[in-house]
Amino acid sequence: MKRKKSPEELRSHRWLGPADLRSFGHRSRALQMGFAREDYQGKPVIAILNTWSDVSHCHTHFRERVEDVKRGVWQAGGFPVEIPAISLAEVLQKPTTMMYRNLLAMETEELLRSYPADGCVLMGGCDKTGPGLMMGAISMDLPSIFVPAGPMLRGNWQGKILGSGSDAWKYWDELRTGNINEQDWREIEEGIARSPGTCMTMGTASTMTSVIETLGFSLPNASSIPAPDSNHPRMASLTGRRIVDMVWEDLKPSDILSERSFDNAIKVLMALGGSTNGLIHVIALAGRAGIKIELERFEEIGREAPYLVNMRPSGRYLMEDFYYAGGLVGLLEGMRSLLDVNVLTCTGKTLGENIAGAKIHNKDVIHTPDDPMQAEGGLIVLRGNLAPDGAVIKSTAADPKLLKHSGRAMVFDDYNDMAAKLEDPDLDVDADSVLILRNSGPQGGPGMPEWGMLPIPKKLLKQGVRDMVRISDARMSGTSYGTCVLHVAPESWIGGPLALVKTGDTVELDVPGRKLNLKVSDEELEQRRAAWKPKSRKFERGYGKLFSEHIRQANEGCDFDFLEGTAQTPEPEIH
């Protein structure tokens, strides 16, 4: 370790060091908490931002795990302080955690700014927590390291393996059609989430913890360790040790992040067959580092980066299998030739040094570029008169027969409209229909709830239909599947073309051609646009108002306009 700082140059020294009245107050309060002077004097103060709470279902182990992080910080000569940060519990929080990702990012940045932190450990994992914590940390630009919650164990029902989310949607349809009974459903409910940790499919959580590790913010392979595995607390304490050195080395996010590291992250997103949410979060993370990523960048990289990891919902296996097969370091070493391995990481070493010698132990789980699952990445960007600013489809999780499809639109004006009609035995749809859900975007949802995997109408389920083309300005869970076109931009709530579609119009999806078009003349669309009226505002006060007034569109990362970029914010005065 190369020390670049003296104790007097630590940021926390401004609070704890000077011989003045203010510092007297700060020191006396540290003593009040039971710490001796030698516990903190001259040591890096490490803020541990913990997203644990009683509602944070995927982070139940963080209450204990934070003690492992603290142990590492103490061992390395730092002073750990745990600071709770807002829980974004994916399943429980409504209308969607995405509405609060930016709030966590703001909280992270402002906690780090307003308290005497020299560096931080970020404890997250459940979908939006990783991006939210990282966005704030990138903006604050203190030495930062991320402890991923780790995936939960495989689910189990009557000897069958259950995958988070994916099997819930699958068996729900089987219950709706009478293929399983209430007792089966209850047993599935009891077996699908059977340990601490995040969803164990390649959902948004594992996608983003893998992306964050690839960007250089977690110890090698940390994101792949299952939460209940004893390697997990050992990783946590090593992370605590490492952040102390990062402070002395003054190794900050701005030293680690570059266009090259984001290109690596996008390649990994493609290799994983990762969540469509990953596009939004990567754009937002890059925006905090002053790097503009257009949707086209995903498209360009996706044409060269193969899909390699055989995991649900696109493939067969689960995160536990991925870890045993070698985990993220195995994948990265296997695709080394596609990566820029000279980028710096939180270890103080390059990505290439971190992954050197990592092995793949099961090539059916982790493929290599010479034997890919699919030659191109599975996240495809579509454009056309229905999505002038882009839309996204996860082709690897779709029925290949539907990737080029033309059909008659069935439009649902919002979620309630859809829910009221789906069970109607006389709904005017057939297997070729294209289901459209609008008013579910960043402002319309609000927060783009994960409604994009529209349920198949009951009438068609009974006929054996299990996939259809579905189009919305919503997101879908990373654990979802189907031929679902998502993130249509601009969204219908602000008058995007999705607002102009009528039931009966013909919609043309051409995934190989990257196109999404409404077969209606320009003149007719102009007439409909002139007649379109915006809906009344959802929020007149509070966070909802702030959100509606400042949220960006999906293709721009859904950050708040005033949080993007790298403009300097002054350090607080210590008075």
Q: Which is nearer to ligand FES, 148 or 490 (CB)?
A: 148
| DSSP tag of 148 | E
Distance CA 138, CA 287 (A): 10
* Interactions with ligand FES, residue window 48-77 (CB under 6 A): 58
Contacting residues for 107 by C-beta, under 8 A, at least 6 apart: 85, 86, 136
Binding of ligand FES at residue 492 (CB under 6 A)?
Answer: no
Q: Which is nearer to ligand FES, 128 or 367 (CB)?
A: 128
Binding of ligand FES at residue 127 (CB under 6 A)?
Answer: yes
Q: Which is nearer to ligand FES, 347 or 480 (CB)?
A: 480
Alpha helices in 325-462 (DSSP H): 327-334, 351-355, 415-421, 458-462
- Side-chain-side CA neighbours of 142 within 13 Å: the count stands at 33
In the complex, least distance from residue 100 CB atom to ligand FES, rounded to whole angstroms: 14
Distance CA 202, CA 198 (A): 10
Q: Give the binding range for ligand FES (CB under 6 A) out of 109-117, 198-206, 340-348, 365-373.
A: 198-206
* Interactions with ligand FES, residue window 147-166 (CB under 6 A): 164
In the complex, least distance from residue 380 CB atom to ligand FES, rounded to whole angstroms: 24
In the complex, least distance from residue 99 CB atom to ligand FES, rounded to whole angstroms: 16
Burial annotation 125-145 (CB, 10 A radius, 16+ → b, else e)? bbbbbbbbbbbbbbbbbbbbb
Binding of ligand FES at residue 331 (CB under 6 A)?
Answer: no
Whether the upstream peptide bond of residue 196 has omega within 30° of 0, thus cis, is no
Give the chain's length.
575
In the complex, least distance from residue 450 CB atom to ligand FES, rounded to whole angstroms: 10
Question: Which one of residues 76, 133, 188, 199 is an interface residue with ligand FES (CB under 6 A)?
Answer: 199
Q: Give the binding range for ligand FES (CB under 6 A) out of 199-207, 271-279, 310-318, 332-340.
A: 199-207
Map residue 320 onto helix, strand or coil: helix
In the complex, least distance from residue 152 CB atom to ligand FES, rounded to whole angstroms: 8
Binding of ligand FES at residue 126 (CB under 6 A)?
Answer: yes
Tell me the number of residues near ligand FES by CB under 6 A. Answer: 10
Q: Is 75 left (phi over 0), alpha (psi -120 to 50) or beta?
A: alpha
In the complex, least distance from residue 441 CB atom to ligand FES, rounded to whole angstroms: 22
Binding of ligand FES at residue 203 (CB under 6 A)?
Answer: yes
Which residues in 368-511 belong to E strands, given as ranges? Answer: 379-384, 387-394, 404-412, 434-437, 469-472, 484-486, 506-510
Beta bridge partners of 80: 46
Binding of ligand FES at residue 91 (CB under 6 A)?
Answer: yes
Q: Which is nearer to ligand FES, 196 or 334 (CB)?
A: 196
Beta bridge partners of 48: 82, 121
- Please report, for residues 16, 138, 247, the alpha-carbon distance to residue 9 in angstroms, rounded to integers and kept in the order given: 12, 21, 11
Whose structure tokens read 């509606």?
548
In the complex, least distance from residue 164 CB atom to ligand FES, rounded to whole angstroms: 6
In the complex, least distance from residue 131 CB atom to ligand FES, rounded to whole angstroms: 12
Binding of ligand FES at residue 205 (CB under 6 A)?
Answer: yes
Burial annotation 72-91 (CB, 10 A radius, 16+ → b, else e)? bbbebebbbbbeebbbbbbb
Q: Which is nearer to ligand FES, 58 or 271 (CB)?
A: 58
Q: Give the binding range for ligand FES (CB under 6 A) out of 99-107, 197-205, 418-426, 567-575.
A: 197-205
Footprint of ligand FES (CB under 6 A): 58, 90-91, 126-127, 164, 198-199, 203, 205
